[in-house]
């Protein structure tokens, strides 16, 4: 008989709690040494590193992100952030599933949201990069 192992509960952030009836939210976070904790969303999320660097773990894959890096996190992805290198500033955007599904040109949305950013962007997503 196999022993029963209780997996840790994964917190779910819900757009209904964060979006205030809007299609997306935008935050700029100033992080210092901390860990976000493993969680998932019922919406899409992307993050652009404005300054500093940190580790992002998505579905068990850990990646170092630095200034200018962009990460897209599909809804339902288990992920957490590890801020181990001092001060890090990130732009964080959450987009509702319904809104993203209604957009024909998703790259246009990203370009619109980033139109004031002039630095290089490195795309990473666990769906695109093995």
Are 94 and 18 within 8 A, CB to CB? yes
Separation CA 21–CA 34 (nearest Å):
30
Higher pLDDT, 55 or 98: 55
Higher pLDDT, 86 or 107: 86
What are the structural domains of the chain?
Answer: 13-124 (2.60.120.10)
**DSSP label at 109?**
H
47-64 pLDDT, tens digit per residue, is: 999 999 999 999 999 999
11-49 pLDDT, tens digit per residue, is: 888 888 877 888 888 899 999 888 888 999 999 898 999
Are 81 and 13 within 8 A, CB to CB? no
| pLDDT attached to residue 107 | 65
Stated pTM of the model:
0.71
Separation CA 100–CA 23 (nearest Å):
9
Higher pLDDT, 10 or 80: 80
């Amino acid at each position: 008989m196999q022993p029963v192992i209780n997996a840790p509960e994964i917190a779910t952030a819900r757009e209904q709690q964060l979006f205030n009836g809007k299609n997306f939210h935008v935050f700029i976070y100033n992080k210092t040494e901390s860990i976000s904790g493993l969680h998932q969303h019922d919406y899409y999320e992307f993050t652009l590193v404005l300054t500093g660097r940190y580790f992002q773990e998505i579905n068990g894959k850990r990646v170092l992100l630095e200034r200018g890096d962009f990460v897209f996190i599909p809804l339902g992805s288990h992920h957490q952030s590890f801020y181990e290198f001092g001060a890090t500033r990130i732009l964080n955007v959450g987009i509702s599933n319904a809104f993203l599904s209604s957009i024909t040109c998703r790259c246009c949305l990203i370009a619109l949201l980033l139109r004031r950013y002039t630095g290089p962007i490195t795309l990473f997503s666990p769906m695109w990069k093995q």
